[in-house]
Structure 1
Amino acid sequence: MKKFVAALALSLLVLAQPARAQSILRDAETEAMFADMSQPLILAAGLSPKDVRVILINDESINAFVVGGQTVYVHSGLVNAADNANQVQGVIAHELGHIADGHVLLQAEGVRPALGIMLLSMVLGVAAIAAGSAEGGAGIIAAGQQVAQSKFLAFTRVQEATADATAAKFLETAGVSGKGFLQFFKKLQSLEYRAGYTNIDPFAQSHPLSGQRVATLTETLVQSPAWNKPFDPALEIRFQRVRAKLIGFVGDPPRTLNAYPAENQSIYAHYARAYAYHKAGYPEKANAEADALIAVAPHDPYFLEVKGQILLESGKPFEALAPLREATKATNFQPLIATSFGHALIATEDPANYLEAEKVLRQAVSRDYENPFAWYQLGTVYDLRGDKARAMLATAERASLSGDARTAAFSARAAMGALPQNSVDWIRAQDIAVASQNALDDSKGGRRR
């Protein structure tokens, strides 16, 4: 009985949470573009750009979501499907509407009454079964589930419509045109039509239908003083660059090369082909595409970054040093690029480069703590330089970020045993050891239950 209740409750709660995507995609150029395109909207929402993050998720579905806090998750499929930067701005404005309106915190208000209906129907159904009417009891339970689900979906549709309206306000306050917002809903409507979804039951959806959203928002967006404001051409170029490199990075190489054939000599095509060739295992062709980019803009840090990445991952770390060093300096030691540079320094296997690698990687993790790969590289260079204690501490940091509580606890305790007691690093190791052990104990307790 209890297991059945838990299963029903879980099935309802799953509706309240967007599906978790497979992995986060981190890229310096992409994160800088997201930060700049979202900043006016974040300010319009009354939030701080320092506290809000827009994160790219490797998922081909067209979606974006928030799950708590002030982080907006955007699927790679949405970026690929968008025609321009303004469309993505509209989606970000919508997600900021969820944050500003406190929708994640209010989810319990939608779950509670629906769960109450579900539990009541289950009690009545079980009573009917106990009285000898198995078919009638099952019917009561099934009907209760359907009513509960419908009630919750009605709640989420209201939240989505509210977020749309709030997004329109943010766009107007920020002086950003809502044309892209409307264009994107029309695109979704077209995709729904082409997929054959012509007889969708609007009451069985978690979101209002795209056509309904277009009809509701059009008048508000058109009347905004920002409606006819031109798009930022520089931001649009940056978006198309990011979109092209993303297609090259996550897409199937043959499809990418078909979409960006050799006769296409645009920056976007060179970007996409560089990643596609590199992914397909053609380093010389990938390197040639990177050279074509650098020929257009010799000091563009992101072109230099891709050049260095291709060389490094093709087994040429010495050759990768110059472009990665310049890219690191040009971006004022952007942590992701600096991590690649530190990696290249270590990969040379030249002890003369290890001190510089340590300095670069220490700076990277100080500015971007949640970077497991940077911690891994820092632990490697600590070990190479004979600093076993801090190598263990770096391992503990990486394991903690990756959710490996067992390794984090073991490594942190090992670091504590070799570090000066009560030093900054010792205290940090102690914090990780305690937190990781608590996580392990909670896990063991959960299994016992």
Structure 2
Amino acid sequence: MSRAGRSATALLAAAAIFLGSVATPVQAQRGNLPLVRDAETEALLRDYAQPIYKAAGIPSSQVEIILVNNKGFNAFVPDARRMFINIGVILDAETPGEVIGVIAHETGHIAGNHLARLRQAASNAQIIGVIGALLGAGALAVGASAGSADIAGGGAGLATAGAGFAKRSLLSYQRGEEATADRAALTYLERTGQSAKGMLTTFSRFADQNLFSSKYADPYAVSHPLPRERLNALEELAKKSPYYDKPAPASLQARHDLVRAKLLAFTSHPRTVERAYPRSDKSMAAQYARAVVATQNRDGKAAAKIIDSLIRQQPNNPYFYELKGQALLESGNPRAAIEPFRKAASLNPREGQFLIWLGFAMVASDNPALLPEAERILKAGLQMDGNSPVGYQQLAIAHSRQGENAEANLATAQGLMSRGDLAGAKQYASRAQKNLKRGSREWLQADDILSYKPPKLRR
């Protein structure tokens, strides 16, 4: 697993589930969010999402799911092409259905075009607020000229009322969109023959957590329906489905358990992992968690021993080989890491992250004979997965060690772009372009970086 910043700007806007107040569009780069890259988790989420996308009539390649390294239970869609999911969603979810319900809800926002409509609603609310403020200012002016403090005070109150009405109008609109997304999620689950029980479990959790505070909350001053209200509205509909009591396939539950263990182990203190998976727990998920802890501790031998046991149980699981390679690489044995990474790539040749790991191990092995192959493998991996700063970093090293300085500068520029460092990327792209053949593919790639301008955010 590796963390990576990304360069694209985003409107981190409303359509975020389980938030108690409206989230206004703000300018942010992906690099401002603590993102996580993990091939296994991303593959699982894609498998959760694909049937939902199909049921919603959304092309399978349209929406990219992006993992956020935050243990809070939250997910949001800033636009029609990206869905951000906190790792906390997976860590808290005991069953696949709980995560699938979240994805279905967010897909409801995308399919319903709620984000564009929300921007229009926000614009309308802003207009209402401005009208209220203008009316208030006018009343204040009249009151001042007439010498009437009471009228002046009334004008200020009118301005405040206008702003308050605008806010409530927007919040009311957003609550309606949340309810619409809930109903859409039920429809998608029904169409795909899946139970909504996991989705209800998620809503029930939040209803219980908010039971006390919700008692005194103003339901018209929050952007989402109160959790218990949402739960009651959904439960009656969900239980009518013939799939309500249908559990997730055992194979999917097993994958879910492994990913939960992996994420917990990579993001928590070893003692936390040990409490969750005590030595008495002999499950595959527990073994996986212990292997990750050993990897984090740079104990390559201990990690490899546990992983070899996992491989004997699932010899065709590419993620076990990936973890073994990572354990060996991070414990200072890159040459031994090459073979496990190569095996992982052979089991899943369409996973770019495996190729990037393999190229990384080859470069780190400090064997000049491997550099040309490492370069080819890294380029292939980056072609499949272009959001890997580590991949570009290793490609730059491979080029540099072969005396290809212009290409090394270009790879560095591309890596900086993937991290969101536009100024640094332009600096290295300029250096690269001076020594590249004009009109060549590499020259054009450098020119793309130099001519790139961040998109202007809509207000």
Superposed, which structure 2 residues align to 1:243-254 within 5 Å?
243-254=260-271
Identify if the C-alpha distance between structure 1 residues 18 and 216 changes in structure 2 by more than 3 Å, giving closer, same or farther: farther
The residue number in structure 1 matching 2:24 is 15
- Taking only the aligned residue pairs, the percentage that are identical comes to 36
The residue number in structure 2 matching 1:296 is 313
Superposed, which structure 2 residues align to 1:86-235 within 5 Å?
86-126=97-137, 131=144, 139-193=157-211, 197-235=214-252
Q: Give the Cα separation in 2 of the matches to 1:363 and 1:345.
A: 14
SS in 2 for 1:146: helix
The residue number in structure 2 matching 1:447 is none
CA contact (8 A) 1:18 1:65 kept: no
Which of residues 26, 41, 49 is equivalent to 2:60?
49
Q: Give the Cα separation in 1 of the matches to 2:163 and 2:273.
A: 45
Q: Give the Cα separation in 2 of the matches to 1:113 and 1:129.
A: 24
Identify if the C-alpha distance between structure 1 residues 310 and 110 changes in structure 2 by more than 3 Å, giving closer, same or farther: same
Residues matched between the structures, number: 428
Give 1:43 shift.
Answer: 0.6
Identify if the C-alpha distance between structure 1 residues 288 and 124 changes in structure 2 by more than 3 Å, giving closer, same or farther: farther
CA contact (8 A) 1:372 1:401 kept: yes
Give 1:266 shift.
Answer: 1.1
Q: Give the Cα separation in 1 of the matches to 2:350 and 2:81.
A: 25
5+ residue gaps, structure 1? 1-11, 444-449
CA contact (8 A) 2:416 2:425 kept: yes
Give 1:197 shift.
Answer: 4.6
Give 1:46 shift.
Answer: 0.7
Segment drifting more, 130-139 vs 271-280: 130-139
| Greater per-residue helix proportion | 1
Q: Give the Cα separation in 1 of the matches to 2:200 and 2:192.
A: 17
Q: Give the Cα separation in 2 of the matches to 1:390 and 1:67.
A: 35
The residue number in structure 2 matching 1:322 is 339
TM-score normalised per structure 1? 0.88
Deviations 1:339-360 (A, max 9, x none): 1111111111111121121111
Q: AA paired with 1:220? A: L
Give 1:138 shift.
Answer: 5.8
The residue number in structure 1 matching 2:84 is 73
CA contact (8 A) 2:406 2:435 kept: yes
SS in 1 for 2:431: helix
RMSD: 2.7
Give 1:16 shift.
Answer: 5.1
CA contact (8 A) 1:253 1:277 kept: no
Identify if the C-alpha distance between structure 1 residues 15 and 201 changes in structure 2 by more than 3 Å, giving closer, same or farther: same
Identify if the C-alpha distance between structure 1 residues 118 and 281 changes in structure 2 by more than 3 Å, giving closer, same or farther: farther
The residue number in structure 2 matching 1:32 is 43
Identify if the C-alpha distance between structure 1 residues 149 and 277 changes in structure 2 by more than 3 Å, giving closer, same or farther: farther
Q: AA paired with 1:63? A: N
Pair 1:431 & 2:448 matched: yes
Q: Give the Cα separation in 1 of the matches to 2:454 and 2:220.
A: 41
Structure with more relative contact order (C-alpha pairs < 8 Å, separation 6 or more): 2
Segment drifting more, 231-240 vs 142-151: 142-151
The residue number in structure 2 matching 1:446 is none
Deviations 1:373-411 (A, max 9, x none): 212211111111111121111122122222222222222
TM-score normalised per structure 2? 0.86
Deviations 1:230-272 (A, max 9, x none): 4221111111111110111122332122111122121111222
Segment drifting more, 348-357 vs 113-122: 113-122
Identify if the C-alpha distance between structure 1 residues 177 and 391 changes in structure 2 by more than 3 Å, giving closer, same or farther: same
CA contact (8 A) 2:399 2:407 kept: yes
CA contact (8 A) 1:13 1:111 kept: no
The residue number in structure 2 matching 1:422 is 439
Pair 1:354 & 2:371 matched: yes
SS in 1 for 2:84: strand
SS in 2 for 1:430: helix
Pair 1:84 & 2:84 matched: no
CA contact (8 A) 1:17 1:67 kept: no
Pair 1:260 & 2:277 matched: yes
Superposed, which structure 2 residues align to 1:390-405 within 5 Å?
390-405=407-422
Identify if the C-alpha distance between structure 1 residues 18 and 432 changes in structure 2 by more than 3 Å, giving closer, same or farther: closer
The residue number in structure 2 matching 1:4 is none
The residue number in structure 2 matching 1:341 is 358
SS in 1 for 2:33: coil
Q: AA paired with 1:173? A: R
The residue number in structure 1 matching 2:402 is 385
Give 1:196 shift.
Answer: 5.3
Q: Give the Cα separation in 2 of the matches to 1:294 and 1:199.
A: 54
Deviations 1:307-364 (A, max 9, x none): 1111111111112112111111111151112111111111111111211211110100
CA contact (8 A) 1:301 1:331 kept: yes
Segment drifting more, 95-104 vs 392-401: 392-401
CA contact (8 A) 1:257 1:276 kept: no
Q: Give the Cα separation in 1 of the matches to 2:218 and 2:97.
A: 30
CA contact (8 A) 1:253 1:279 kept: no
Give 1:306 shift.
Answer: 0.9
CA contact (8 A) 1:339 1:374 kept: yes
